[in-house]
Amino acid sequence: MSAFGHFQDRTGGRPLAAQPGLTTAAVVHRALRDEIVSMIRRPGERIAEAEVATAHAVSRTPVREALLRLADEGLVEIAARSATRVARIPAAILPDAIFVRSAVEHATARAAAHQARGSSVTLLRGLIERQRESLGAGDTNGFHEADEAFHAALAMAAGRPGAWEMVQQVKTQLDRYRRLTLPEAGRMLRVVEEHGAIVDAIEAHDAEKAGLAMDHHLDGLRRSLASIRDHNPDYFSGDAAGISAAFETLLFR
């Protein structure tokens, strides 16, 4: 099967272009995955094969293939003789995801303090400014995209682009949770300020301070878990007490 031309997504009817080299099922998978990870499709929400096929102007076969792949990734739940639904966020795995991300990005920030050139610092500050603009416009999607670009650029500045690729592999469920943190009062402004502190340390070639600034930045994910879960209990699976205890064992400092 070949990739198809254009179809409508769930974010206001934007056409999604065909992507060379990808099958129809792969393009549908990418579109659905983006909708799930960005929380456009909420945990527990029903996904109807027929509706997805109609919206994407394809048959149900590639949709079914895409859903099976998403199920393997833990993003949808397919039950026999029951509706396919967006999987709830498995909160029990978030402590390990944060632990891995924190360890890798701590080392990345330290390396950037040693390796970064002036052009890299300029790029990082430009991405922070993009976040400020998104914050001012109330654009959480733009803010999140700039956040991702910031951390990718940080890895490039450190001369370790593969480090960010490794982080990407463990943070899918974490990204869904992160989306829920953005509407918190003051959250996005804190992220901007924390990114600024990281770049200040990198520009000063202070590896110790850069690592500590990154630790503080990512520790915000741990600090927010209880309140986010309390406000969105239907979006998570797992035992709250056990999850909180697991977070307390993490070392961010």
- Compute the Cα dihedral for 174, 176, 182, 183 and give only its sign: negative
pLDDT at 253 over 80: no
pLDDT at 39 over 50: yes
pLDDT at 12 over 70: no
Task: Copy the structure tokens of residue 116.
Answer: 């970064």
Task: Copy the structure tokens of residue 181.
Answer: 């943190």
pLDDT at 94 over 90: yes
pLDDT of residue 239: 63
Per-residue pLDDT averaged across 190-210, rounded?
A: 98
- Distance between CA atoms of 180 and 187, rounded to whole angstroms? 11
Q: Which range has the worst mean pLDDT, 18-32, 39-53, 77-91, 116-130?
A: 18-32
pLDDT of residue 22: 80
Query: Percent of the chain at pLDDT above 90?
Result: 77
Query: Percent of the chain at pLDDT above 70?
Result: 86
pLDDT band at 7 (very low <50, low <70, confident <90, very high): very low
43: left (phi over 0), alpha (psi -120 to 50) or beta: beta
Contacts with 205 (C-beta within 8 Å, 6 or more apart), sequence order: 113, 114
Q: Which phi and psi (to 5°) does residue 12 adopt?
A: 110, 15
117: which DSSP letter? -
Task: Copy the structure tokens of residue 23.
Answer: 């099958």
Which residue type does 21 have? G
pLDDT band at 6 (very low <50, low <70, confident <90, very high): very low
pTM above the 0.85 mark? Answer: no
pLDDT of residue 252: 40
pLDDT at 10 over 70: no
Task: Copy the structure tokens of residue 113.
Answer: 């303090």
- Compute the Cα dihedral for 104, 105, 106, 108 and give only its sign: positive
SS (H, E, C) 129-191: HHHHHHHHHCCHHHHHHHHHHHHHHHHHHCCCHHHHHHHHHHCHHHHHHHHHHCCCCCHHHHH
Task: Copy the structure tokens of residue 96.
Answer: 């390990």
pLDDT at 173 over 90: yes
End-to-end CA distance of the chain: 50
Task: Copy the structure tokens of residue 73.
Answer: 């990734």
- Helix/strand number for the chain, H first, E second: 11, 7
- Distance between CA atoms of 201 and 209, rounded to whole angstroms? 6
pLDDT of residue 101: 96
Determine the 3-state secondary structure of 15 from DSSP: strand
